Amino acid sequence: MAYRLHYSPDSANLVIHILLRELKIDVTLQRVDRAKAQHHSAAYRALNPQGLIPVLQVGELALFETAAIALYLSDTHNALFPSPHGPSRGPALAWLFYLSNTVHSDLRAQFYPHRHVGEQHEYIGALRAGIRQRLLTHFSLIDQQLAQTSGPFWDGEHFGTLDAYTAVLCRWAMLYPLDDDTVRLARDELAALPALSRLLQALESRDSVIDAMHAEQIKAPFFWGATPPDLPLSQVTG
């Protein structure tokens, strides 16, 4: 089966990219040039009608939505996520949906606030301050959940989909938006969450993470003290 990942460095594809490397799947990387708005082209919208990155093509299939792609990969490879009939499947699904439709969605609103309130700056400031608080609550909740495992991962000693997704969301929350340093989460705010910190530390030196980050022109450190990919700002997420 041929795999093709439509990606832009440090966009949501990073989660999928880590999982593909973890599963040792050969993938063709198809760069989407955000500066040229290639993701808004008719050709790209034929793959993802929302015009969002990423898309993973698997043979004739064009898959979009990060969590859905991750789950598809896990289910088709029987790895990185609890199997459909296992006892931990239900809770893992709940947290996957939470990462996707709450944490990731809040980050999207943080990066693109004008899409919610227009260009009126007084509203943007209030919206972003509110989202910042929400993000702290989300990561604190995740930390409490992670603290109940033997760690460092969501499934104790076994790395999986939830780990890659959580870590990438933490990276973005501390690094973006580049244009407003009052809304980014401070390193110390996440470092105060011990179980989450343990997860980020474990992923910093994991081969699949290092390989995916390097392929997306991202240099270490990837989480604490992270820097954006070495690209013109118009091509960088957030």
In the complex, the residues that contact ligand GSH under the rule CB under 6 A are 11-12, 39, 52-53, 65-66, 100, 104, 108, 112, 237
State the minimum distance, in angstroms, from the CB of residue 237 to ligand GSH: 5
- For residue 152, whether the previous peptide bond is cis, meaning omega lies within 30 degrees of 0, is yes
Among candidate residues 50, 57, 66, 48, the one with its CA nearest the CA of residue 30: 57
Q: Is the Cβ of residue 169 or residue 193 nearer to ligand GSH in the bound state?
A: 169
Cβ nearer to ligand GSH, comparing 47 with 193: 47
Provide the minimum distance between the beta carbon of 113 and ligand GSH in the complex, in angstroms, as a whole number: 12
User: Which amino acid, residue 171?
Assistant: R
Give the distance between the most distant pair of CA atoms in the chain: 50
Q: Which is nearer to ligand GSH, 21 or 34 (CB)?
A: 34
Question: By C-beta, is 12 or 146 nearer to ligand GSH?
Answer: 12
Amino acid at 153: F
The DSSP 8-state label assigned to residue 56 in this structure reads E
The nearest distance, CB 42 to ligand GSH, in angstroms, is: 15
Phi, psi of 27 (to 5 degrees): -135, 140
Considering beta carbons, is residue 29 or 192 the nearer one to ligand GSH? 29
Q: How far is the CB of 39 from ligand GSH (least distance, A)?
A: 6
CB 199 within 8 A of CB 152: yes
Residue with tokens 């439509």: 6
- The least CB distance from residue 97 to ligand GSH, in Å, is 11
Phi, psi of 234 (to 5 degrees): -65, -15
